[in-house]
Amino acid sequence: MGLEPQFSYWERSSFIDNPDVIIIGSGLVGLSAALHLKKSEPSLKVLVLERGFLPSGASTKNAGFACFGTVSEQLECLQHSSEEEVARLVNYKWRGLQRLRQNLGDSNIDYQQHGGYELFMADEKAYADDQIEKIPYLNNLLKQAIGTDNIYSVASNKIANFRFDKISWMIYNPFEGQIDTGKMMRVLLNKVYDAGILVLNSCSVTGIENQPNEIQLITSQGNFKASKVILATNAFANQLFPDLKVVPGRGQVLVTKPIEGLKLKGTYHFNQGYYYFRNINNRILFGGGRNLDFEAEATWDFGHTKKVKQQLITYLNEVILPNQNAEIDYWWSGIMGFGDDISPIVKQVEPNVFCAVRCNGMGVAMGSLVGEEVAELALNS
Ligand SMILES: Cc1cc2nc3c(=O)[nH]c(=O)nc-3n(C[C@H](O)[C@H](O)[C@H](O)COP(=O)(O)OP(=O)(O)OC[C@H]3O[C@@H](n4cnc5c(N)ncnc54)[C@H](O)[C@@H]3O)c2cc1C
């Protein structure tokens, strides 16, 4: 299939023909890669192809936690990864967050550092005791990763201030923050446009053909050619490269209507990180529940299930905002890319085709660096 004849000479010459690099996917990783390519080699022609009307994976649908992991998440990682590997990943997320803030500017992304909390329910005493006992060990293990040894501390005495119910223990981490996800993606897109990078939406890539001197992309809008291609399609990576070890994981999220006198500020996790909530302006954003049915949530389909929705509503009304009858204004879902290995996949998949996928649900923290890494790989191969 050739390019559709309706493209004018002007459209072809200014929008379509001869990019040096095509990036598939306009999420945080794809756009960060595009910017890094252009910064490193300003003469490169970089084109981003995005299948959605907006970026349509995780980057505009996440919770906006600028986090590097709770105590239970770190201990869970240590069950199947070495201490060095866990510390390396925390350092990577920490540096990724600094890079995101440097690149985009704290005020542009509404970065606020109210700290992060991990909550334990009243019926989790043995589990909470065990996690709390391991705080000194983790603080020591991770002190080099973020440059301080006072990362986690017990803060159960603050529970009453937040008016939670059924919560008996709390761990605090002052180094975590939150951003406005929408603002992050808008300012990133603006930077991409300012750098002279073109982003074309509603263009789904359905095939990649390695030809003698170029890569040809088959898309819903016709064929495109480039010398190099970067795949930044995260959860959807297997649709083009079935061998990549990426499993999709849907995250269902709600945002309440504004709540008068809302006290709570910060990012909060419970149930080993499977549930998370935060304040956004004077509302609560609350998501999670993938663990209720891993199989059903390992999907590329956006949407909701009754089971997860019901559990989120129950926790919202019984634990987070007890007796307040909070009304819900928004429901949405986003798709993350997971794998057994805790690190993202940044590698060459074919000659002149590179991938940067699988941020394991932590791409706000890692995405800027993952994008830079794949751009460097493409530039130097
Ligand atoms: C509900 C939810 C909450 C989250 N909360 C947090 C958080 O608080 N903190 C944190 O660090 N991380 C969080 N994450 C994870 C984070 O959002 C992701 O790790 C990150 O956005 C991944 O960025 P990406 O660019 O790799 O992927 P994506 O943003 O998914 O971008 C991939 C893009 O590729 C496009 N695409 C796919 N296939 C094709 C194709 N064939 N052709 C063209 N385009 C294609 C998609 O439409 C999509 O826009 C959350 C994710 C979700 C879903």
> Which DSSP string do the residues of 263-327 spell out, in sequence order?
---SEEEETTTTEEEEEETTEEEEEE-GGG-HHHHS-S-----HHHHHHHHHHIIIIISTTS-PP
* DSSP 8-state class, residue 375: H
Work out the widest C-alpha separation in the chain, in whole angstroms: 70
For residue 28, the ligand 1 atom closest to its alpha carbon is 25
Distance CA 339, CA 357 (A): 10
State residue 341's pLDDT score.
87
The upper half-sphere exposure of residue 159, i.e. CA atoms within 13 Å in the direction of its Cβ, equals 18
- Fold of domain 247-338: D-Amino Acid Oxidase; Chain A, domain 2 (3.30.9)
Asked if 189 and 313 touch (Cβ cutoff 8 Å), the reply is no
State residue 4's pLDDT score.
56
pLDDT average, residue stretch 272-294: 96
Nearest-CA residue for atom 21 of ligand 1: 59
State residue 1's pLDDT score.
46
Share of the chain above pLDDT 90, in %: 94
Measured in Å, residue 334 CA sits from the centre of ligand 1 at 7
Answer whether residue 167 shows pLDDT above 50.
yes
The residues that bridge with 96 in the sheet, in sequence order, are: none
Measured in Å, residue 355 CA sits from the centre of ligand 1 at 14
Residues 50-94 pLDDT 10s:
999 999 999 999 999 999 999 999 999 999 999 999 999 999 999
- 271 in ligand 1 pocket by Cβ < 6 Å? no
| Model confidence, pTM | 0.97
Residue keyed to tokens 């909390």: 117
pLDDT average, residue stretch 268-275: 96
Residues 96-153 pLDDT 10s:
999 999 999 999 999 999 999 999 999 999 999 999 999 999 999 999 999 998 999 9
Measured in Å, residue 30 CA sits from the centre of ligand 1 at 10
pLDDT average, residue stretch 242-268: 96
Distance CA 32, CA 40 (A): 12
Picking from 97, 95, 30, the residue whose alpha carbon sits closest to that of residue 65 is 97
| Domain 17-60+182-245+342-379 CATH (choose: 3.40.50.11540, 3.30.830.10, 3.50.50.60, 3.40.50.300) | 3.50.50.60
φ and ψ at residue 202, rounded to 5 degrees = 55, 40
Residues 326-346 pLDDT 10s:
999 999 999 999 998 889 999
Measured in Å, residue 214 CA sits from the centre of ligand 1 at 28
Q: pLDDT confidence of 224, banded at 50, 70, 90?
A: very high
Measured in Å, residue 361 CA sits from the centre of ligand 1 at 8
- 59 in ligand 1 pocket by Cβ < 6 Å? yes
Answer whether residue 304 shows pLDDT above 60.
yes
What residue spans in the chain does CATH classification 3.30.9.10 cover? Answer: 247-338
* DSSP 8-state class, residue 84: H
In Å, what is the CA distance from 368 to each residue of 231, 271, 374? 15, 28, 10
3-state secondary structure of 149: coil
The upper half-sphere exposure of residue 45, i.e. CA atoms within 13 Å in the direction of its Cβ, equals 11
pLDDT, mean over the chain: 96
What residue spans in the chain does CATH classification 3.50.50.60 cover? Answer: 17-60+182-245+342-379
- 371 in ligand 1 pocket by Cβ < 6 Å? no
247, 332, 336, 343: residue to mutate for ligand 1 pocket, most atoms within 8 A of CB: 336
Q: Which helix (H) or strand (E) holds 4?
A: none
**Which of 8-22, 219-233, 346-360 is predicted with the least confidence, judged by mean pLDDT?**
8-22
- 236 in ligand 1 pocket by Cβ < 6 Å? yes
36, 59, 185: residue to mutate for ligand 1 pocket, most atoms within 8 A of CB: 59
- 177 in ligand 1 pocket by Cβ < 6 Å? no
Q: Which helix (H) or strand (E) holds 86?
A: helix 83-104
Q: What is the CA radius of gyration of the chain?
A: 22
In Å, what is the CA distance from 287 to each residue of 187, 243, 276? 25, 30, 6
Alpha helix ranges (H) inside the chain: 9-11, 28-40, 71-80, 83-104, 106-109, 125-133, 135-146, 159-162, 181-194, 294-297, 306-315, 363-380
Picking from 381, 343, 365, 313, the residue whose alpha carbon sits closest to that of residue 356 is 343
- 266 in ligand 1 pocket by Cβ < 6 Å? no
- 361 in ligand 1 pocket by Cβ < 6 Å? yes
Residues 204-221 pLDDT 10s:
999 999 998 999 999 999
Picking from 195, 210, 274, the residue whose alpha carbon sits closest to that of residue 37 is 195
Distance CA 133, CA 125 (A): 12
Picking from 239, 243, 242, the residue whose alpha carbon sits closest to that of residue 204 is 239
Nearest-CA residue for atom 37 of ligand 1: 233
